[in-house]
């Protein structure tokens, strides 16, 4: 399902066909200033649905009914990936959202008479905690894996320090430009983050020092012509690092650290937020750091950050080990004999 090519999906000559109307919808999204990443994701997932519908003889949106979408929902529920695993609930949810939005647009633009997806119930998302969060010692152990004897090792150290210090997303890191750093103020500007929002956040002195070392010693050797466009972190080919390549890079360092935990860029995001909250940072400051539009998204770290709750539990719960008072020592000296009593002998 995920790996099939979408080049032959739909009939480009049918003005009322799924392919033509999908392209019009995607163009409308671009005109409304949706991010390119969002448009590409919806193109992919709508393409999956169109191919599935074509296999069942459905080639125009007007032929799609509520029952058809319910069948597709059951299809993705029972679908199995190449390794035999089902799609996660979040993945199922993500594949249905573009379909619901597309049919809503089709009905509003009068391409169809009614919206067959208006009453579709999306899968209920689970409230999941991060699988792994690093301790400060574990984070240092992962960062120390970078080989500082090589130029790419220095670059990787700067990348890991930036992820740990700021908790920015992988795409936000790959989109950083040289002019986004302000060493004097100790800040970076994250441009067009999730939701197409800019934000300014602090970055630590240690991370800035490693970035400075990378910029002075390594980046000039990686720049090739004008392809870099002032991108901060460059690949060995002098180009902007691909987000998927960054994921593999960071995951490799986590595995080599042998800390017994798995993860990649988001692992440092979870770690930064959790450790800051452990050390007393207000949840709203963490929300600003992470770029969450809703505080409820950030509040997950009040659950992960267990340090303060553990301290209160230890101090207040009655079922705890109390320090035992040592037993009183017995007097080893024999008691003096009572002169008023006869020595007891048994006859």
Q: 42, 95, 157, 269: which is the annotated catalytic residue?
A: 269
Is 93:68 a contact under the CB 8 Å cutoff? no
Active site residue 111: no
- The helix (run of H) or strand (run of E) holding residue 182 is strand 181-182
* CA 44 from centroid of its chain's CA atoms: 21
Active site residue 262: no
Q: 194, 213, 251, 261: which is the annotated catalytic residue?
A: 194
Is 122:96 a contact under the CB 8 Å cutoff? yes
Active site residue 177: no
* CA 23 from centroid of its chain's CA atoms: 30
Active site residue 269: yes
Backbone angles phi, psi at 189, to 5 degrees: -105, 120
Rounded Cα gap, residues 270 and 164, in angstroms: 9
Bridge partners, 3 (sequence order): none
- Tokens representing 250 are 């960071």
Q: 169, 170, 270, 277: which is the annotated catalytic residue?
A: 169
Is 189:180 a contact under the CB 8 Å cutoff? yes
Is 256:145 a contact under the CB 8 Å cutoff? yes
Rounded Cα gap, residues 229 and 9, in angstroms: 35
Q: Region of 232 please: left (phi>0), alpha (psi -120 to 50) or beta.
A: alpha
Is 103:115 a contact under the CB 8 Å cutoff? yes
Active site residue 333: no
Active site residue 169: yes
3-state secondary structure of 240: strand
Could you give the angle at the alpha carbon of 319 between the alpha carbons of 313 and 322, nearest 5°?
Answer: 100
Q: Which residues contact 293 (CB under 8 A, 6 or more apart)?
A: 195, 197
Is 79:4 a contact under the CB 8 Å cutoff? no
Active site residues: 169, 194, 266, 269, 292, 301
């Amino acid at each position: 399902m995920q790996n099939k090519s979408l080049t032959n999906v739909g009939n480009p000559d049918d003005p009322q066909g799924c392919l033509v109307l999908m392209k019009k919808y995607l163009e409308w999204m671009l005109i409304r200033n949706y991010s390119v990443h969002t448009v590409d994701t919806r193109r992919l997932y709508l393409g999956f649905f169109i191919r599935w519908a074509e296999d069942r003889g459905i080639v125009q949106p007007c032929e799609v009914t509520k029952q058809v979408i319910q069948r597709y929902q059951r299809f993705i529920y029972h679908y199995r990936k190449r390794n035999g695993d089902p799609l996660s609930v979040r993945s199922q949810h993500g594949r249905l959202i573009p379909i619901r939005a597309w049919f809503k647009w089709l009905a509003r633009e009068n391409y169809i008479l009614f919206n067959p997806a208006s009453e579709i119930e999306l899968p209920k998302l689970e409230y999941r905690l991060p699988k792994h969060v690093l301790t400060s010692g574990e984070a240092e152990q992962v960062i120390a894996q970078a080989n500082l004897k090589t130029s790419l090792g220095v670059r990787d150290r700067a990348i890991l320090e930036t992820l740990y210090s700021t908790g920015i997303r992988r795409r936000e890191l790959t989109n950083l430009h040289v002019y986004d750093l302000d060493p004097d103020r100790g800040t970076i500007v994250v441009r067009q983050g999730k939701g197409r929002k800019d934000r300014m956040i602090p970055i630590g002195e240690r991370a800035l020092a490693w970035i400075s070392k990378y910029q002075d010693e390594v980046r000039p050797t990686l720049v090739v012509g004008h392809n870099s466009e002032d991108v901060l972190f460059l690949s060995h080919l002098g180009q902007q690092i691909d987000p998927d390549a960054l994921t593999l890079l960071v995951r490799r360092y986590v595995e080599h650290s042998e800390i017994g935990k798995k993860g990649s860029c988001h692992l440092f995001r979870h770690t930064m937020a959790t450790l800051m909250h452990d050390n007393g940072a207000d949840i709203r400051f963490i929300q600003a750091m992470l770029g969450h539009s809703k505080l409820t998204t950030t509040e997950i770290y009040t659950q992960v950050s267990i340090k303060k709750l553990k301290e209160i539990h230890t101090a207040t719960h009655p079922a705890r080990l109390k320090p035992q008072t040592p037993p009183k020592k017995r007097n080893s000296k024999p008691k003096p004999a009572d002169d008023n009593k006869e020595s007891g002998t048994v006859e």
